[in-house]
Structure 1
Amino acid sequence: MKRTGGPVAFRRAALAGAVLATALGGGAILVACGAGGQDGAADGPARLTVADSYIPLPPAGGMAAGYLTVRNDGGRDELVGVSSPGAGSITMHRSTASSMEQVARLDVPAHGALQLARGGNHLMIMGWQKAPALGDEVELDLTFAKAGTISVKVPVKELTYRPGQQ
C-alpha cells in the first residue's frame, strides 16, 4: 500500500486547519463584540415606532385592555409607564397560561419588538373620564426608560376585533 503525503503534507494540513480555526474563532469574537453589551449601547439609542394599536370596547365604561406593538430599530429600551388624559390609571401586565401579574416595566429588545396582545403582555385601563365609544381614539402616553415619552392615538374597536383578521 502506497502512502500519500507524509510528514510535510500532514504538517501543512494541520497548519491550514489551525489557521482556519483561529480565523473562524476570531470572527466569532468580533461578532460577539460588535453585538454590543446587554444594554444595547453599541446599537445606539432606541428608535421606536408603535403599530397595530387598539382598545376593545369596554363594557359600560368599565376596565379595558390595550394592545399594541412597539418596534425598535435601535438599542434596547424598556417601557416603564403608560398614562392617558382620558383615564385615571393604566397598568402594565404580563399573562401566562395560569396567571396575570402587574409589572413595573416591559423590555423592548434591540432590533426587535415588544408585543402587547391578547393572552400575553397587555395594558389595563381604568377610571375613564368619559366612557369610550366605538370608533373613538384614546391618547396613550408611553414612557420609555431611554427614549422618553411617545404619544399615540389608539382606536376603540369592537370587543371581538383581532388585527389582521378584519
Structure 2
Amino acid sequence: MRRRGTLLTTGALTGALALTGCSGSGSGPERAELSVSASYMPQPVSADMAAGFLTITNKGGTGDELTSVSSDVAGQVTMHSTTGGAMAEKSAFPIPAHGRLVFRSGGNHLMFEKLKRAPKQGQTVTVRLRFAKSGPLTVEMPVKATTYNPSTGH
C-alpha cells in the first residue's frame, strides 16, 4: 500500500509541474527573440544621404515590428520598401515569429538622411533599432566600398 501512495504522489507532482510549464509566464517561445546580422552601409556617394542594409532574425514564438531607426551619423533615418521598382517610405515593418526581416539592395532599405559626417569605408556607424514590443538594439554597421555586394563579397 505504501508503494501505491508514492506513485500517486509522484503522478500528482508531475501533473502540477506540467501545468506550471504552460502558465504563459512571458518567457520561452511566447516572445520575440531578435538578433541582427549582415549589416552594412555602402560608402555614400552623396554628401547628405546614405543607404543601409541588415537582417533582423526572430527566433521567438511571437512577432514584433521594427518601428524606428536612428543613428548618430544622420539627422533622420527612414525605412523604405521597394516593390516592382517603386520605393515607399514605411512607418513600421513586421518581423514574423520564427522569421526574418531583410533590408537589402533593391528591396527594403534604410535611408540615412541629413548626414552629419560622410562615413568612409572601414569606419562603423552606430544604429539604434526600436521595436513595438522588444527592447531596442544597437548595431555597429560597417561602412563598405560603394560597390559592395554581399553576394559576391565585393
TM range (shorter): 0.7 to 0.9
Structure 2 alignment gaps of length 5 or more: 1-27
- Percent sequence identity is 44
Per-residue Cα deviation, 1:102-159 (whole angstroms, up to 9, x for no partner): 0000010100100001111110001122111111100000001111210000011111
Structure 1 alignment gaps of length 5 or more: 1-41
Where 1:159 maps in the other structure, the secondary structure is coil
Query: 2:93 matched to which residue of 1?
Result: 106
Shift of 1:61: 2.7
Match of 2:138 among 151, 154, 157: 151
Query: 2:41 matched to which residue of 1?
Result: 55
Query: 2:4 matched to which residue of 1?
Result: none
Q: Which has the larger radius of gyration?
A: 1
CA distance in 2, matches of 1:159, 1:62: 15
Where 2:136 maps in the other structure, the secondary structure is strand
Q: Per residue, is there more helix in 1 or in 2?
A: 1
CA distance in 1, matches of 2:120, 2:33: 32
Shift of 1:44: 1.2
RMSD, aligned α-carbons? 1.6
Instruction: State the TM-score, normalized to the length of structure 1.
Output: 0.72
Per-residue Cα deviation, 1:16-54 (whole angstroms, up to 9, x for no partner): xxxxxxxxxxxxxxxxxxxxxxxxxx9411111100000
Instruction: State the TM-score, normalized to the length of structure 2.
Output: 0.77
Amino acid at match of 1:72: N
Amino acid at match of 1:146: K
Match of 1:115 among 77, 102, 111: 102
Query: 1:44 matched to which residue of 2?
Result: 30
CA distance in 1, matches of 2:93, 2:51: 16
The structure 1 segments of at least 4 consecutive aligned residues displaced by more than 3 Å after TM superposition are: none
CA distance in 2, matches of 1:43, 1:99: 36
Amino acid at match of 2:116: Q
